[in-house]
Amino acid sequence: MLDALLINAALLIVVVLVLWLISVRLGDVSFIDAFWGAGMAMLAISSFVQLADPGVLAFVLLAMTAVWGFRLGIHLLRRWWREGEDQRYERLLRQDREKGRFALAALVKVWLGQAVLLFLVSSPAQLGILGAAAPTPVTARAWAGFALYGVGVFFEWLGDWQLAQFKSDPANEGEVLDTGLWRYTRHPNYFGDACAWWGIWLVCAAVDPWLALYTVAGPIFLTFTLTKWSGAALLESGMKKKRGDKYAGYIERTSAFVPWPPKDDRT
């Protein structure tokens, strides 16, 4: 298993270096967001092909990770192609660009850092697949993981679709999306991300509880970053500046993360 993880790490480093060179040529690292999901799917595939006799849960974990990862990757790649450079990365690298050290800063501050986190977050899929040699029975814990993953994919896909539809209507310029899933949580797509990976972790736990113990840092960190670090917290900081009182009112009545009836419905 250690040898397989080292192969995965080497593959990740090679791909990251190639993408880094492309980002230097483009002068834009923003498409790294698309690699976040696609890279996890890539590591799941790499883990699977190294198994001589994969069990049923190896196939299941591969499918779960690939569906989640490639859907997210395609969605974010299309958004980057349509909208251009993400302002978060532009601000992060602005001074380095001005001082002529964009290439090194892009590698250290963006690509290598995210590669480490990507490897960590995807550890339940990697180790779960590598541990799921035949026979691997489908237990109640695995079914709970499937169910939670299904909830996550539903919230993520539908939340992204509703937001895209909202943005495509010029009449919504300057407005705040507060219908559909966005009425019950300010971040249905992030909530879906967290559910999907906790679901994958539960399936990993069905393969081997010890593997789940070794990999629990992955979904914990993902949930933290989605709620407190680079996800919801950073997004809401920008939305408060752009939407002012409208977004403040939305925050006041709408659950931050876990779906819940809005305050207007509870009074």
The model's pLDDT over 29-52, given as tens digits with 9 standing for 90+, comes to 999 999 999 999 999 999 999 998
Would the pLDDT of 7 be above 60? yes
DSSP character for 100?
T
Would the pLDDT of 266 be above 70? no
Would the pLDDT of 86 be above 90? no
> Residue 157's pLDDT is what?
94
Q: What is the mean pLDDT of residues 100-123?
A: 94
Per residue in 216-257, pLDDT (tens digit) is 999 999 999 998 877 677 777 777 777 778 888 888 899 989
Amino acid in position 163? L
Across all residues in the chain, what is the average pLDDT? Answer: 91
Rounded CA-CA distance 17/38 in Å is 15
Contacts of 96 (CB under 8 A, 6+ apart): 102, 104, 105, 106, 109
Least confident window among 1-5, 103-107, 142-146, 181-185: 1-5
Name which residue leads in pLDDT, 85 or 7.
Answer: 7
Residue ranges of domains in the chain? 1-136, 138-267
CB atoms within 10 A of CB 93: 20
> Residue 90's pLDDT is what?
86
